[in-house]
Chain A
């Protein structure tokens, strides 16, 4: 009942919006006023169509926004802004929808109001869905707009991936240079000095050799840490499930790991997923003051889903640390996503999803 009248009310706004748009376009040649007027009416129309998209999405019919991204450093009301508006096919598709959308809205709204009177209330949802599908015809991105959005997204994720890779290589070079290499140099220096002192001062030489053994041990430890940071050996040997279990055992907070993957994702996906989990767990221990945590791994509908949760205080701010952003970028390279839910009082639940196929464990090259 209420739903029907809302539909009718919203549909009714379409007509003034259309008239306003036609007026604004007609006034375009008027200096200053024209361009700004088009901008404002477009904004109003988009508010209306966005609302319709949200209403459609609530019925389960997903209608993404089709617009070009706004030009950078353009003055609102300026020429570039105007061009961005009128060259976007979605602007015209919005306008084209206004009249048919109003008619369908009025019709279906009326039907929705009348349905209960005939004892057909159960049909309300199908009617709303029909409305949503109709809106989708006009308001969803066209195939070419879809591809354009995809290209934009791929360009961004590719740049992020390249950046991340370069930073990673630099980190490895630094770690090797300052760590293992330096230790080996100092080791060989100590051995050289001990060799020199062997005859003259055997006691001092022995002390140096003991130092050398310690130094070689430290170099090995550092090398092992570094290797683990590049590609954990246990990940190569046991796959994601095993590596996450091994990681959980090394943490100061008890973490329950559940779920088994029937096979293994491609190595790059596996590695990205592992480091994402590692990062999330590190953050969890560092910030949430939780006493326990859990990780669940699942592969369904051609996607790997990892849920990490804790019993901490919650209230994690996704914009706060760069950690989450880093994970998001890491996963975006594989069209993966990360979602955070952290109400005050907890618990914090982080869900990561990466589309991927699993290879059967038997065909994995060893």
Chain B
């Protein structure tokens, strides 16, 4: 799988390269600044890109801007944004580009290597990976969720983060069948159409939460 990395901090850039290479990703480009990023994305059209939100020269949100621009040029280009802090605002801007294949995680998450790599693979496959903190912020804002049982809210959170039914089942230590039952209940209670497509379902849930 071919990856483009954008990270200005040398230590982190090499760390990411090494980590992804250890899991058989091919790093086709690793840039350390904003202006070089968009051309690299457009030239290599990678299977997935891992991008720091804040990059030189302005150290604002250049990474995010380049990512959104690239997804406008190449619809559905899979992108994982990494940042030292997460903002629902940025998640919304990222999700506003059509098609799935986006992720937005705290940099801290790279320490859980397996889960991080799994997130990158999922995004490359068109799935999503939203940081727990983003989802927690979204869930906290939504009143109608009172109709859900605590367990259903938990499942909703996991689902919104982008996990598959199997992953949710493993994490909550329940059967996959129980997970899909919870999900059906959630969709009914929130008046959302049922869907077999995991990715589309997640995007619908995110759209619902962010409405």
Given A185-B107, A185-B110: A193 in contact with B19 (beta carbons within 8 A):
yes
B56, closest chain A residue (CB): A178
Interface string of A165-194 (1 = CB under 8 A from B): 000000000100110011101101111110
Whether the Cβ atoms of B22 and A182 lie closer than 8 Å is no
Whether the Cβ atoms of B54 and A189 lie closer than 8 Å is no
Interface string of B40-68 (1 = CB under 8 A from A): 00000000000000100001000000000
Given A178-B9, A193-B22: A186 in contact with B59 (beta carbons within 8 A):
no
Chain B contact residues: over half helix, strand or loop, or mixed?
helix
Task: Answer whether residue A288 sits at the interface, using C-beta atoms and an 8 A cutoff.
Answer: no
B114, closest chain A residue (CB): A196
Given A188-B108, A188-B110, A193-B22: A177 in contact with B54 (beta carbons within 8 A):
yes
Whether the Cβ atoms of A193 and B11 lie closer than 8 Å is no
Set B12, B59, B112: member contacting A192, Cβ < 8 A = B112
Chain A hits for B112, CB < 8 A: 192
Whether the Cβ atoms of B12 and A185 lie closer than 8 Å is yes
A194, closest chain B residue (CB): B113
Set B12, B18, B84, B111: member contacting A191, Cβ < 8 A = B111
B84, closest chain A residue (CB): A181
Distance between Cα atoms of A225 and B108 in the complex (Å)? 23
Whether the Cβ atoms of A189 and B15 lie closer than 8 Å is yes
Chain B hits for A195, CB < 8 A: 113
Chain B hits for A292, CB < 8 A: none
Chain B hits for A196, CB < 8 A: 22, 113-114
Bin the interface of chain B by size.
Answer: 10 to 19
Chain A contact residues: over half helix, strand or loop, or mixed?
helix
B110, closest chain A residue (CB): A189
Q: How far is the CB of A151 from chain B (nearest CB, A)?
A: 37
Most A CB within 10 A of own CB, among B9, B22, B59: B9
Task: Answer whether residue A161 sits at the interface, using C-beta atoms and an 8 A cutoff.
Answer: no
Whether the Cβ atoms of A182 and B113 lie closer than 8 Å is no
Chain B hits for A5, CB < 8 A: none
Set A174, A177, A181, A186: member contacting B15, Cβ < 8 A = A186
Distance between Cα atoms of A169 and B16 in the complex (Å)? 30
Q: Using a Cβ–Cβ cut-off of 8 Å, how many residues does chain A contribute to the interface with B?
A: 18
Set B59, B108, B113: member contacting A193, Cβ < 8 A = B113
Q: How far is the CB of B110 from chain A (nearest CB, A)?
A: 5
B54, closest chain A residue (CB): A177
Distance between Cα atoms of A183 and B10 in the complex (Å)? 10
Distance between Cα atoms of A192 and B22 in the complex (Å)? 12
Q: How far is the CB of B27 from chain A (nearest CB, A)?
A: 15
Q: How far is the CB of B42 from chain A (nearest CB, A)?
A: 27
Task: Answer whether residue A215 sits at the interface, using C-beta atoms and an 8 A cutoff.
Answer: yes
Q: How far is the CB of B81 from chain A (nearest CB, A)?
A: 14
Whether the Cβ atoms of A189 and B19 lie closer than 8 Å is yes
CB proximity to B under 8 Å, residues A238-284: none
Chain B hits for A215, CB < 8 A: 11
Distance between Cα atoms of A188 and B116 in the complex (Å)? 12
Given A177-B54, A178-B9, A181-B84: A189 in contact with B111 (beta carbons within 8 A):
yes
Whether the Cβ atoms of A192 and B11 lie closer than 8 Å is no
Whether the Cβ atoms of A192 and B111 lie closer than 8 Å is yes
Whether the Cβ atoms of A182 and B111 lie closer than 8 Å is no
Given A177-B84, A178-B9: A190 in contact with B114 (beta carbons within 8 A):
no
Whether the Cβ atoms of B18 and A185 lie closer than 8 Å is no
Q: How far is the CB of B20 from chain A (nearest CB, A)?
A: 11
Chain B hits for A185, CB < 8 A: 12, 84, 107-108, 110-111
Shortest 4 CB-CB contacts between residues of A and residues of B: A188-B111, A192-B113, A185-B107, A182-B9
Interface residues, chain B, with chain A CB atoms under 8 Å away = 9, 11-12, 15-16, 18-19, 22, 54, 59, 84, 107-108, 110-114, 116
14 example contacts (A-B, Cβ-Cβ < 8 A) are as follows A177-B54, A181-B84, A183-B11, A185-B111, A186-B12, A188-B111, A189-B19, A189-B113, A192-B110, A192-B112, A192-B116, A196-B113, A197-B22, A215-B11
List 20 extra interface pairs beyond A182-B9, A182-B12, A196-B114, CB under 8 A.
A177-B84, A178-B9, A181-B84, A181-B107, A183-B11, A185-B12, A185-B108, A186-B9, A186-B11, A186-B15, A189-B12, A189-B111, A190-B15, A191-B111, A192-B111, A193-B18, A195-B113, A196-B113, A197-B22, A215-B11
